[in-house]
Amino acid sequence: MSDEEERERAYGWGNERLNEDMQFSVVPGGPARYVHTTDKAVEYVTVAREDGVLGYLWACDADDAAGWQVRPAGGDDAYNAGVSWTMRLRDPKARGLTPSQALAELAASPGNPQIGRVVAGSRATASGLAELRELAGANQAPKPETPRVRRGS
């Protein structure tokens, strides 16, 4: 057996299944999730750390919707916090809680220094997600980064 044939055998490169087209199919199930958008009024709470507001958790019982609205000014940490808060919405949904019940439950949780905490007394209502995006500053075009000029080499 040649070295090439031995490598193919050892690493499975000679396996005919590796040459077949991949077949993808939708698998039912997955984690329980609230609908991620609505055109109705939403209740929301502010999530912040010591260095500022990261974003807003929101809920709309009428559409069984809940989610996270990032505050872009919070930078990468705000986007990362959103992943954690969105993941935390899965358990209340799996237990059959309404979005507003989930919001109340998460508002009572301690959060942590990385993902922030719900600001006490911040529960409010917005006419819709567009108003919440405006509050978060998400509708503003990002400021172009100032090019850095290297001087001397």
Map out the domains of the chain as residue ranges.
42-136
Tokens of residue 89, six digits: 């919405």
Q: What is the pLDDT along the chain (153 residues), one digit of tens a residue?
A: 677 777 666 666 566 666 677 788 877 888 899 999 999 999 999 999 999 999 999 999 999 999 999 999 999 999 999 999 999 999 999 999 999 999 999 999 998 999 999 999 999 999 999 999 999 998 865 555 555 566 665
Q: What are phi and psi of 89, to 5 degrees?
A: -75, -20
pTM: 0.75
CB 66 within 8 A of CB 59: yes
